[in-house]
Amino acid sequence: MVNALGSSLDEIWPRLVAGDQSRLRLRDDLVPGQALRFGEVAGELAAIPTALAAYACRANRLGLSAYTGIRDSVESSKARFGAARIGVVVGSSTGGIAEAQAALAQWSRSGSMPESFRLVQLEFGGMAEFLAGIAGLEGPRYTLSTACSASAKALVSARTLLELDVCDAVVAGGVDTLCGLTANGFVALQAVAKDLTNPMSRNRSGITLGEGAALFLVMRERGGVQLLGAGESSDAHHMSAPDPEGKGAEACMRAALADAGLEPGAIAYVNLHGTGTPQNDATESAALERVFGRPIPCSSTKPLVGHALGASGALEAGICWMMLRRRDGARIAAPPHRWDGVRDPDLPPLALVPEATWIHAPPPAAIMSNSFGFGGSNCSVILAEEPE
């Protein structure tokens, strides 16, 4: 995993549990006339090999940087199952749009495209093709683009490929990058925070955009962290606004619980979609109250890494994975909910995680992550530990 907090799990984890917001960078080059904060991945990214130069774009460099963390496991699985039995499913909403913007800008100035630009850098399908090429995999490979639910759905799709016996292992997750088109689009929607995103606050004013990549190797083996349950729903309410009553959010959380065979009381923590927009926070908090009927420890991690859109589901599932793998006996460390502390009296009261909080959650602990996207495309996943 790579995001604004770091380029490895060991870098990300201590900053995550400390609630470190110092990595969000002020930039004035994405939206004309405005300086806004973004969750940008810092430092040098992995280089695209010459043989795959046609795929050279920041999105694929982010994906490759994340892939290095599972490379050894993929190679081991390839030796065990064969390249044709390992698939690739990733989620994204921007892909290589930044490179396409630069190419079109040059074309408008000079009448010619950059020699290095290839359409496959922009195509969503190119992302899965690139990762398959890097890993030498020959199984099914495709990219999902369902806005903010995309990479959570990629994990569910990976599980389905295993259940159908199409694959024996699947590289699954999400990648998204910052670009001017996306930033200006959200500014035009009046959905970007004036400073930092402030989820669940009376003073919330919008999102802080981010970028990153998270990849898993999904397999059938028991033990360790399991994708225990998943639920999906579609509001079909509006192109960009959620159903105002949160019916879609409620439906997918209930579906995830049913799929996992769990009662709401079995969930120890919820990673909120928590964008900091007026509508998301109102609908999500109302849906949480109806599903759980009690204040459940929860937090949004978007104030720490930004909203990485199509990659956010995988990034936040990765955060939940780390919480389970880095437990301390019967307790797990939960990332703090960074906000101004001013509660909105119109929202149901939530048990937002304060700083340095340990949650009592003896194994097998189950935690939920929510991803609610444009057009009402919703996905909730439940991760849980299983004895090795």
Residue with tokens 């930039």: 27
Question: Are the C-beta atoms of 301 and 319 separated by less than 8 Å?
Answer: yes
- CA 112/CA 54 separation, integer angstroms: 17
110 φ, ψ (degrees, to nearest 5): -120, -15
Residue 375's pLDDT is what?
75
Question: Are the C-beta atoms of 41 and 63 separated by less than 8 Å?
Answer: no
- CA 153/CA 173 separation, integer angstroms: 9
Is pTM beyond 0.85? Reply is: yes
Residue 246's pLDDT is what?
86
Domain with CATH 3.40.47.10 in the chain: 9-219, 224-386
Name the CATH code of domain 9-219 (choices 1.10.10.60, 3.40.47.10, 2.60.120.10, 1.10.10.10). Answer: 3.40.47.10
Distance of CA 311 to the CA centre of its chain: 4
Q: Count of alpha carbons within 13 Å of 179, Cβ hemisphere only? A: 19
In 10 A of CB 184, how many CB atoms? Answer: 15
Give the fold, CATH level 3, of 224-386: Peroxisomal Thiolase; Chain A, domain 1 (3.40.47)
- CA 350/CA 89 separation, integer angstroms: 34
In 10 A of CB 137, how many CB atoms? Answer: 25
Residue 124's pLDDT is what?
85
Residue 376's pLDDT is what?
81
Largest CA distance in the chain: 63
Angle of the 180-188 helix axis to the 97-110 helix axis, nearest 10: 100
- Bridge-based pairing of strands 366-372 and 267-271 is parallel
- Going by C-alpha positions, the residue among 152, 96, 145 that lies closest to residue 315 is 152
| pLDDT digit string, tens, across residues 293-331 | 989 999 999 999 999 999 999 999 999 999 999 999 999
- Going by C-alpha positions, the residue among 155, 159, 45, 1 that lies closest to residue 91 is 155
- CA 212/CA 266 separation, integer angstroms: 30
- CA 47/CA 50 separation, integer angstroms: 9
Question: Are the C-beta atoms of 3 and 41 separated by less than 8 Å?
Answer: yes
- Going by C-alpha positions, the residue among 233, 218, 215 that lies closest to residue 173 is 215
The residues annotated with a catalytic role in the active site are 148, 273, 307
The secondary element (H helix, E strand) that includes residue 384 is: strand 377-386
Q: Count of alpha carbons within 13 Å of 128, Cβ hemisphere only? A: 24
Residue 212 three-state SS: strand
Q: Give the residues of the chain that fall short of pLDDT 70.
A: 239-240, 387-388
